[in-house]
Structure 1
């Protein structure tokens, strides 16, 4: 490295792994911890191809040949890792790789949501605020809570009729989770099973995870870590409902399901149900949601 050749007294080790001299290739592609992050985001094949590139121009040419979702995910990864590197260089504590991956997924969701607002021809339904479903359908909002340190989380969902009345709500704990996206996909399948148990025939499922909704609606295979769960979701829907849809909603419009997931984690049980007559707890959540978006 130049600083060594010039005999400048400077620690050139990677501030993250503290093992090898730092350069761009090591920082973004070769560091032991960043390799774990690429794998966590199911981008190992991209990392290996980038290692073959002879210069930055070739790297960007390759990135622009990827699907939009994967390209955006890589760019966010690089930016987020640069920020983490700078914090580590100033003595900051390193987050678990799973937590970094969770943040990157969330940033991607927010970015894609903003991009979708400007596109004239959007193939995916986007919900700006909670509203009654079309006649004959039941609206099912679901959400997940993921806790990296414990490797677990929880799910919650609320079902409302085309008149806006609460039909049922449920929440429960989930174990053996490795990522936020896996938690969202598992919560989705729990919500589908709950709706099927209630005998619902026509369902509209709403989630604030754009990555998940895109994967279900488009058959996106880039998210291979949850591919089995996605296929299970589709199979359950085809077997259980006469008609179904999956739509994306903003996080602010998914507050009831979010609160139920938080309750499910605190309660620590596999599943809690509120049927027939919703509890005061659920009624208060729904009333607050209606007040904000009514």
Structure 2
């Protein structure tokens, strides 16, 4: 049986050389990325072509090259399975945005997003809500774990929200953050801190620029809701400092249920909650 023709152009058999180098859509991708030299010799086999590129180009160019190959392959699959068509320029834009995302993750976190290794209670007039998301990739399900505490580490509210049709863990974290903001608005709290261990989600909410990632809709809605508070601060903390909301999320995922507890928290969270409470009490004693 002969090779199937290219799903994009239908001009030639879909070999690796054609898909990643010779297809008109792919050529447009390389041109838009200013990497025309990536396809210099159509007689060269795929392995030789890739090896030759890595041998004679810089690390940054090789990085872009690999991301472009991934983007070309991903959108080829979307065309087949979801009938989603992209031009070469659109694929190139996706690759460029993805590389900017990676560069952003490597940037040092500003002081206002300074990381924390242990949970600390908020200032006296503020409420702190911590969020986390458990994610089941196989079933495209997530569970958001939320907990609101005051300056004495006393629990105002804890909540789990079971979500379906969630495409990625990244989206699950962004949704959990959005639901955290919404919960505090529903409780009519005015001075709040939103805290989670989803570094990129927090960073996007602190920045003024337009978000073009897969969570752009969540970022936009979260920023708009944050304006309804008197004070709303987004903070990043390390995973180990976010143990309470992490456990709440995973308890909710295990039971696949929504819960809403006032002045209480779910079973299985006691030890982490009490550890935060003891540290808070010790900190208050030291300040006296």
Cα separation, partners in 2 of 1:52 and 1:250, compared to 1, 3 Å: same
Bigger Rg, which one: 2
1:225 match: secondary structure: coil
Determine the C-alpha separation between the residues in 1 that align with 2:154 and 2:165: 34
- How far is the alpha carbon of 1:48 from its aligned partner? 7.0
Partner of 2:108: 116
Cα separation, partners in 2 of 1:129 and 1:59, compared to 1, 3 Å: farther
Q: Contact (CA 8 Å) 2:174, 2:219: kept in 1 or not?
A: yes
Determine the C-alpha separation between the residues in 1 that align with 2:29 and 2:237: 30
- How far is the alpha carbon of 1:152 from its aligned partner? 1.3
1:206-228 deviation per Cα after TM superposition (whole angstroms, max 9, x unaligned) = 11111101111103435432111
Partner of 1:156: 145
1:8-31 deviation per Cα after TM superposition (whole angstroms, max 9, x unaligned) = xxxxxxxxxxx84589x94xx89x
Partner of 1:247: 235
- How far is the alpha carbon of 1:53 from its aligned partner? 3.7
**Structure 1: runs of 5 or more not aligned:** 1-18, 36-44, 65-70, 82-103
Cα separation, partners in 2 of 1:124 and 1:60, compared to 1, 3 Å: farther
Matched, 1:210 2:199: yes
Q: Contact (CA 8 Å) 1:169, 1:282: kept in 2 or not?
A: no
Matched, 1:272 2:259: yes
TM-score (normalizing by structure 2): 0.62
Cα separation, partners in 2 of 1:219 and 1:145, compared to 1, 3 Å: farther
Determine the C-alpha separation between the residues in 2 that align with 1:188 and 1:276: 21
Q: Contact (CA 8 Å) 1:204, 1:247: kept in 2 or not?
A: yes
TM-score (normalizing by structure 1): 0.61
RMSD over aligned CA atoms reads 4.2
